[in-house]
Amino acid sequence: MGNDHTKTSKRKDEHISICLQEDVQADGISNGLEQWRFKHNPLPNIDFQDIDLPTMIFNKKVATPLLISSMTGGTELASRINQQLAIAAEERGWSLALGSMRAAIENEELAYSFQMRKFAPTIPIIANVGLVQLNYGVTNDQCLRLVELSEADALVFHMNSMQEVFQPEGDTNFADLLRKLETVIKETDIPIGVKEVGWGIDGETAKALQNIGVQFIDVAGAGGTSWSQVERYRTSSKIQYAAASSFADWGLSTADSIREVSAEASECLILGSGGLHTGVDAAKAIALGAHVAGFGRTLLQYAVQSIDDQSLSIPQLMSPKELSLLQHMEKIEYELKVAMFGIGAETITQLKKHDRLIRQ
């Protein structure tokens, strides 16, 4: 594939720097979770110490229903970030989704940046590749090989049409991908899922995905990082640059995505992500219908800050963090448990679709 892997790696490092140093938050749309509030229960009738978070994901029991969402890979800096995330995920009992592994397809020598099993031997790990790559020469076998390379428990295909159309080197042929995805699913027993990257998934699409055998869906709703805004900082096209701001509020909010997907694809494992920052956000996502709550860019900032290597060119954060990565993750868990305590939910099963979550 020529110098494709060099271009991909360069893009990955640019994405990291932009996400850490620029304002790439969706503008004009929120994740929708602020529209929902828990009705406080002053007499929860449970002991806080008895609140239980363990969850089964891909036939593995983990300590929490929390996920480190797909972010990066394919470069030395990305590898170090993934190591920090994997170590923390293993210690805290979170699941881990890897960033796009396209770089490892183009050059298998870059697979090391995704090989995190040695740092996280027990937790669920999700391999990841762009669905559109099935229209650009990537084979089913190459996709499934990514699971082997990363010793992952599942494979997610990310759907990022609105990112690709703003990307200077974007792949924009999204025709016939549902059928092609179905052929991948029929060739393997590996759990296959799909995810958006920040614009959400609607119920109609979720139902179509479930019908072809997709086993899990990460809604990755609008209200967090906007990849049209990320690519805006990379493009040399004045047209793309100017047009990107018109799409800063594009997409279906995380809250609405979770509700639609849980209603139309009830057989799928639902991962609720997109602009989540706190354990209260996680509690709301689960109460709306998600099985797992995912966190992305907010954890990236803590992971980068925890890297201590003078040989690496590490982007400076816009605002340094007071807590460590592990402390921040523990804070999220504590907030989730306090929210459950506040409504009298002792288990994640009791939290899911809880009637004390009301729309404002």
Q: Determine contact, residues 54/94, Cβ cutoff 8 Å.
A: no
Half-sphere exposure of 125 (CA within 13 A, CB side): 26
Give tens-digit pLDDT for 153-168. 999 999 999 999 999 9
Half-sphere exposure of 329 (CA within 13 A, CB side): 32
Nearest to 321 by CA among 296, 293, 298, 290: 298
State in Å, rounded, how far the first CA of the chain is from the last one: 52
Per-residue pLDDT at 1 exceeds 60? no
Is 70 annotated for ligand binding?
yes
Q: pLDDT band at 98, cuts 50/70/90?
A: very high
Give tens-digit pLDDT for 100-145. 999 999 999 999 999 999 999 999 999 999 999 999 999 999 999 9
Is 12 annotated for ligand binding?
yes
Is 164 annotated for ligand binding?
yes
Is 186 annotated for ligand binding?
no
DSSP conformation letters of 267-297? TSEEEEESS--SHHHHHHHHHHT-SEEEE-H
Check residue 315 and give its pLDDT.
76
Read off the pLDDT of each residue in 48-56 and give the average, rounded to a whole number. Answer: 97
Cα angle: 137, vertex 142, 143; to 5 degrees = 100
Backbone angles phi, psi at 269, to 5 degrees: -70, 125
Q: pLDDT band at 5, cuts 50/70/90?
A: confident
Q: What b/e sequence results for 276-302 when a residue is b if at least 16 CB atoms lie within 10 Å of its CB, and e otherwise?
A: bebbbbbbbbbbbbbbbbbbbbbbbbb
Distance CA 256, CA 222 (A): 9
Read off the pLDDT of each residue in 24-31 and give the average, rounded to a whole number. Answer: 96
| Chain mean pLDDT for the chain | 95
pLDDT above 70 as % of the chain: 97
Identify the DSSP state of 68: E
Is 128 annotated for ligand binding?
yes
Read off the pLDDT of each residue in 36-46 and give the average, rounded to a whole number. Answer: 98
Give tens-digit pLDDT for 260-275. 999 999 999 999 999 9
Q: pLDDT band at 318, cuts 50/70/90?
A: low
Check residue 313 and give its pLDDT.
73
Check residue 7 and give its pLDDT.
82
Check residue 310 and give its pLDDT.
62
Q: Which single residue is written with the structure tokens 């991948």?
A: 184
pLDDT above 90 as % of the chain: 90
The residue ranking higher by pLDDT, 12 or 96, is 96
Distance CA 169, CA 342 (A): 48
Is 25 annotated for ligand binding?
no
- pTM of this prediction? 0.95
Give tens-digit pLDDT for 184-221. 999 999 999 999 999 999 999 999 999 999 999 999 99
Give tens-digit pLDDT for 271-289. 999 999 999 999 999 999 9
Beta bridge partners of 156: 128, 193
Burial class (CB in 10 A: 0-12, 13-18, 19+), 216: buried
Radius of gyration of the CA atoms of the chain, in A? 19
Is 11 annotated for ligand binding?
yes
Check residue 312 and give its pLDDT.
75
Is 34 annotated for ligand binding?
no
Domains in the chain (CATH in brackets) are: 25-359 (3.20.20.70)
Per-residue pLDDT at 41 exceeds 80? yes
Q: pLDDT band at 62, cuts 50/70/90?
A: very high
Check residue 311 and give its pLDDT.
67
Is 69 annotated for ligand binding?
yes
